[in-house]
Amino acid sequence: MPDSLLLFAGAGAVAGAAAVGLVVLLRRVLVSSRELGTDAEQATYQTLHLAARAAKHLRGGVSEQDAVKAGRHLKSLLGCDTFAIVDPHGVVALDGDDRLRKSAAQLAAAVHAAGKAQVRRGVGDGVDVDAVAAPILIGKRPAGAIVAFASPVRAGLVRATAEVADWMAAQIELGELDASRTALAEAEVRALRAQISPHFIYNALNAIASFILTDPQRARELVLEFADFTRYSFRRHGEFTTIAEELHSIDSYLRLERARFGDRLRVTLQIAPEVLSTVIPFLSIQPLVENAVRHGLEAKEGGGRITIEAFDSGAFAEITVEDDGVGFDPEVIREVLAPIPGPLGAAGGGGAASGSRSRDNVGLRNVDARLRQVYGDEHGLVVETQIGAGTLVRMRIPKAMPKAASATGPIPASAGS
């Protein structure tokens, strides 16, 4: 065969192989495109992805460091040349041409005053560029502004910038709501700590003093119990604990009360070992025990018995605190657990026979409100009581650690039960 024919045949084979390869490649691209969705679906995904990445940097407001991180994603979202976020004090976080920093601050001040988006032509200092600025409004309060620079600014960018500003306002408002909830939770715990009244401290110290001469060893033990109890109650590391930790503090509390009550206070504990590591809100069992002593048994002639039980129930830990004291009118308990208006409405109290929502009653309703907040309304306290028939309080805690607990840091190791 002539050399020219061989060369032609070889070139044909290579071309054929290339054609086959191109077909395979195109097929893979088409299959891949179908798997990723249509162009519109992919654009929607990209928009949501950028918004989600920006959102996590906005919950704390438009502080400069977080604003810079959010601005990178929002610039891509809007497709502008330069993007700026300006806080209420005029501090600018800018992604793009740094020469536009002064213009961004001026435009933000203008839209703050006007309360609505504005478009400006030829605004750059030495840069031929247009801009659209929109205020970030939470209600009527300005929380900052955004400025998008482009050449030119088209109608689509104007609408998109205004929408992004509204979306940012919603994210910042959610962040403020989260901060308010955190502050409320801390206020509720402070209210529970305040329940450790001077009356209890006075009685505990008097009980310790009564043993100093007659039984010095007992007095030393009670001092240590008092130190353990107060250290736990006023600790500052986290808003969650374990059942074991809480029971350890309750044991210290009851030792102090038994030193005062003597044989008038009897205690029974039935605790399943498998629930000891269950994570619970800090100070959620202890106030119930204090209520049982102070409002159930203290007023009963001859004292009585408190029974504390914790047992495994599948995905839940069941905890009950029962006393055979004076009991309450069920209507009083219903009133105590009813929410009252106001930001600290959930931090009221419960358990006084008079039905008063005074500071003495802070424990029962506070615990109920925090359980509902963390686990849902179906996990509030269940109270069974009747005048002269004692009181039983039951809680049902999911054994899975709540997300809020993991966000507060590690749970302290158990100090005993």
Domains and CATH numbers, the chain: 56-179 (3.30.450.40), 196-407 (3.30.565.10)
Would you state the pLDDT for residue 137? 85
Rounded Cα distance, 355 and 328, in Å: 9
Comparing C-alpha atoms, which of 156, 96, 105 is closest to residue 127? 96
**Res 177 pLDDT > 60:** yes
**Res 98 pLDDT > 70:** yes
Would you state the pLDDT for residue 307? 94
Would you state the pLDDT for residue 54? 60
Would you state the pLDDT for residue 232? 73
Rounded Cα distance, 231 and 236, in Å: 10
Q: Which of 61-65, 316-320, 397-401 has the lowest mean pLDDT?
A: 61-65
**Res 230 pLDDT > 60:** yes
Instruction: Give 313 or 348, the one with higher predicted confidence.
Output: 313
**Res 207 pLDDT > 50:** yes
Q: Which residue's structure tokens are 């290339």?
A: 18
Average pLDDT of the residues of the chain: 75
**Res 413 pLDDT > 60:** no
pLDDT band at 20 (very low <50, low <70, confident <90, very high): very low
pLDDT band at 415 (very low <50, low <70, confident <90, very high): very low
Residue 62: strand, helix, or coil: coil
pLDDT over 70, % of the chain: 66
Instruction: Give 281 or 31, the one with higher predicted confidence.
Output: 281
Average pLDDT on 54-60 reads 60
**Is residue 349 within 8 Å of 359, Cβ to Cβ?**
yes
Cβ neighbours around 227 below 10 Å, total: 11
Q: Which of 22-26, 44-48, 189-193 has the lowest mean pLDDT?
A: 22-26
Average pLDDT on 390-411 reads 74
Cβ-based burial of 413 (10 A; exposed 0-12, middle 13-18, buried ≥19): exposed
pTM: 0.52
Would you state the pLDDT for residue 168? 82
Would you state the pLDDT for residue 322? 94
Average pLDDT on 88-117 reads 85
pLDDT over 90, % of the chain: 14
Average pLDDT on 6-24 reads 44
Would you state the pLDDT for residue 349? 36
pLDDT band at 45 (very low <50, low <70, confident <90, very high): low
pLDDT band at 244 (very low <50, low <70, confident <90, very high): very high
Q: pLDDT tens digit string along 326-344?
A: 888 888 888 878 665 443 3
Would you state the pLDDT for residue 318? 95
Would you state the pLDDT for residue 397? 93
**Res 395 pLDDT > 90:** yes
**Res 409 pLDDT > 70:** no
**Res 75 pLDDT > 80:** yes
Q: pLDDT tens digit string along 245-271?
A: 999 989 988 988 888 888 889 999 999
- The greatest distance separating any two alpha carbons of the chain, rounded to the nearest whole angstrom, comes to 125
Would you state the pLDDT for residue 347? 37
Rounded Cα distance, 330 and 336, in Å: 10
Pairing outcome for strands 118-120 and 130-138: antiparallel
- φ and ψ of 72, to 5 deg: -60, -45
pLDDT band at 70 (very low <50, low <70, confident <90, very high): confident
